[in-house]
Amino acid sequence: MRFTALLLASLLAAVAIAQPQAPPAKSAAAAPASPPGVLRDCPACPELVVVPAGEFLLGTSGDARERDADRGESPPLAVSISRAFAIGRYEVTVAEFRAFATAANYAPAGDCRVASDGAWVRLPDRSWTTPGFPTPQADNEPVVCVSWDDAKAYADWLSKATGKVYRLPSETEWEYAARGGTTTARYFGDRDSDEDTVLSVACDYANVYDASSVTELPFPYPSARCRDGHTYTAPVGSFKPNAFDLYDMIGNAREWVRDCYTASYAGRPADARAWEWAGGCELRGVRGGSWASRPADSRAAARGAEPQGQRQSDLGFRVVREL
C-alpha cells in the first residue's frame, strides 16, 4: 500500500510538471506603447513621425485653377530634402501646451482674435485657455490662440526637457510633409474638394469651413459641400491621415512655420532650410487650413502670413524634431 501510494504521488507530480505554465498577467497600469514608426521622447511630448528625404516641387504651377497669385505660389521651386526629419503626427494639443505652460511657468498674454458674426474680432480676455468657443476645448484638441513666439517657446522647452532639437517646421518641410508624396492640390485629390465641387470629400480628411458651419459662422466666402461634424476645432486625428501618417495637415488649425513671410519664392534656398532674416521679421508664414478656412485655402501649397505676435482662435502649430 505504501509503495502504491508513493508511486501514485510521483505520477501526479510528473503530470503537474508537464502542464504548460500560464503567462504572467499583464499589468493594468502599463502605458500603451506608441504605434510602430511613431516616436515620443517623454509622456507629455507630442508623437512624431519620421518623414524620409526626397525631392518635390514647392508651390503651384501657373495654370492651376486655385492658385493664389497674390501669395507667391508660382512659379514652383524644385526642392531637395537631403535628410529625414521627425514632425508632429498631430498638431500640438491643449494638454501638451498646458504641460509646458505649467512646467515652465509660462503665461502667454490674452488678446486673441475670435470669430463673431462672420468676422474676426480681437478680445483681450480670450487666450489659449479660453479661445471663445461655445464650449471649452477638450485636452486632445489643437491648442489655438498662440502666437509664433508662444510656439517657439514651447519648442525651446521641449529641447531643454528632452535633450533633442525641437523647432517649428520650415515652410518647405511643412509642404513636403503635407503632400505626403502627392502632387495634387490636396493629398486626398485634386478637383474633388474645390469650391466648385457639388459634393466634396474634404470632410473625410479635414476639418474645414463646411456646410454644417455656415449657420453658426456666416463667413462671407464659400464653404465645402460636405459636413465634417465640427464647427470649431476637432480632436486631433479625427480624420484620415496622409501617406506619411500625418493628421490634420489641411484643416483643424492653421499652423505657424519658422520662415519670415515673403510674397515670392524667388531667391529661396532650394532645400529644407527656413528663410529667416538676421534682424527678425514682422510677418511669419502660416500653412494649412482650419475649421474656418474656405476650400481654396485648404490646399498643400496655399500660403498665408500673420504678424509674429498674432493670436487667433484658428491658429496653432506642430513641431519638428531634428534627427
Q: Which of 86, 252, 74 is nearest to 167 (CA)?
A: 86
pLDDT for residue 70: 80
pLDDT for residue 172: 98
The torsion angles phi and psi of 256, rounded to 5 degrees, stand at -65, 145
Length of the chain: 323
By three-state DSSP, how is residue 298 classified? Answer: coil
CB 213 within 8 A of CB 192: no
The grid coordinates of residue 92 equal 500640438
The grid coordinates of residue 275 equal 528663410
Pick the CATH number of 36-321 from 3.30.43.10, 3.90.1580.10, 2.40.10.340, 3.30.930.10: 3.90.1580.10
Residues of the chain short of pLDDT 50, as ranges, are 1-32
Beta bridge partners of 123: 112
pLDDT for residue 33: 58
Cα 300 from Cα 187, distance rounded (Å): 7
- The backbone region for 280, taken as left when phi is positive above 0, alpha when psi lies in -120 to 50, beta otherwise, is left
Give the angle 82-87-92 at the CA atoms, nearest 5°. 160
pLDDT for residue 66: 86
Per-domain residue ranges of the chain: 36-321
Contacts 24+ apart (CB under 8 A), 151-157: 151/92, 151/256, 151/316, 151/317, 153/100, 153/104, 153/106, 154/92, 154/97, 154/100, 154/317, 154/319, 155/319, 157/100, 157/103, 157/104, 157/106
pLDDT for residue 92: 98
pLDDT for residue 34: 65
Beta bridge partners of 113: 122, 312
Claim: this prediction has a pTM higher than 0.85: yes
